[in-house]
């Protein structure tokens, strides 16, 4: 039956990278999975590749829109009648990421996608989890949300710090309610977001950084712990990446 047999998980940013790998890992453990993202074509291609059948639902969603985030949760409940795990994985970055280059419009977009989307989704799912006194929210943050390295850019770093703080506050607020919150902070990962780097990433570097499956396994770990165990923060990085 698997570690997640009978459970339902919603994964934002589910069309590629960590979201896709997480969906695959959850399906393999018996979960019914909803993948959400802005690119409907990519989501459908991912669904065909994952071959989850009736255990996999595609819901095109811009989670940075509060109405669409709420609709995602409502559609999941209408289809599967429950949500046990929410994985807030939606994220993006841009090439023009220094403060000298940032525009107010780019700043707003980065904060909406990288932080606000997490709030909108957890805000929509929290009443359901509180009602059944059980649920796990996993925020896929970034080491940029722990260390303000200029590599990620000011807007990305600020949004990820905010996303991490949001998760920690919620976890503490709900410590007695049955709702657990885990922030997973990955280092460099070989995902499509690397295309937004100001300087291209070499094949040599790609070979030694994290793979999406590495982070998916970390998400799976915190999502399958018993109810009396919570991991507020988990940092996972390539061995070659410094962390200080």
Residues with a catalytic annotation lie at 156
Written as six digits, the tokens of 106 are 């780019």
Q: How far apart are CA 153 and CA 95, in angstroms?
A: 9
d(CA 157, CA 141) in angstroms, rounded, equals: 10
For residue 230, count other CB atoms closer than 10 A to its CB.
Answer: 16
The H-assigned helical ranges of the chain are: 17-28, 40-50, 66-80, 104-111, 117-132, 154-173, 203-208, 212-223
Strand-by-strand arrangement of the 179-186 sheet: 56-60, 32-37, 8-12, 85-88, 135-140, 179-186, 233-236
Give whole-number Cα distances, 201 to 188, 190, 215, in Å. Answer: 11, 9, 19
The CA–CA distances, whole Å, from 20 to 15, 78, 112 equal 5, 23, 21
The two structure tokens encoding residue 72 = 């995602």
62 Cα distance to chain centroid: 13
Structure tokens at 179: 């709702």
Distance CA 56, CA 54 (A): 5
């Amino acid at each position: 039956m698997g570690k997640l047999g009978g459970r339902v998980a919603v994964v934002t940013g589910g069309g590629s990278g960590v979201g896709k790998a997480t969906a695959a890992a959850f399906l393999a453990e018996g979960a019914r999975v909803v993948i959400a993202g802005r690119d409907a074509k990519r989501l459908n291609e991912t669904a065909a590749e994952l071959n989850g059948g009736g255990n996999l639902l595609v819901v095109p969603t811009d989670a940075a829109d509060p109405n669409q985030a709420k609709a995602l949760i409502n559609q999941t409940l209408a289809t599967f009648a429950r949500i046990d795990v929410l994985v807030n994985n939606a994220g993006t970055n841009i090439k023009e990421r220094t403060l000298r280059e940032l525009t107010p419009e780019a700043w707003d977009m980065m904060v909406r996608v990288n932080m606000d989307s997490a709030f909108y989704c957890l805000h929509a799912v929290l009443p359901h989890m509180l009602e059944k006194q059980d649920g796990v929210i996993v925020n896929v943050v970034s080491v940029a949300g722990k260390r303000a390295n200029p590599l990620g850019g000011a807007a990305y770093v600020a949004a990820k710090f905010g996303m991490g703080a949001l998760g920690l506050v919620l976890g503490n607020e709900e410590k007695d309610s049955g709702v657990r919150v885990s922030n997973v902070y990955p280092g460099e990962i070989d995902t499509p977001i690397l295309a937004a780097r100001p300087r291209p990433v070499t094949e040599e570097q790609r070979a030694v950084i994290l793979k999406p499956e590495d982070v998916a396994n970390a998400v799976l770990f915190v999502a399958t712990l018993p109810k009396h165990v919570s991991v507020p923060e988990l940092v996972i990085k390539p061995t070659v990446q410094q962390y200080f």
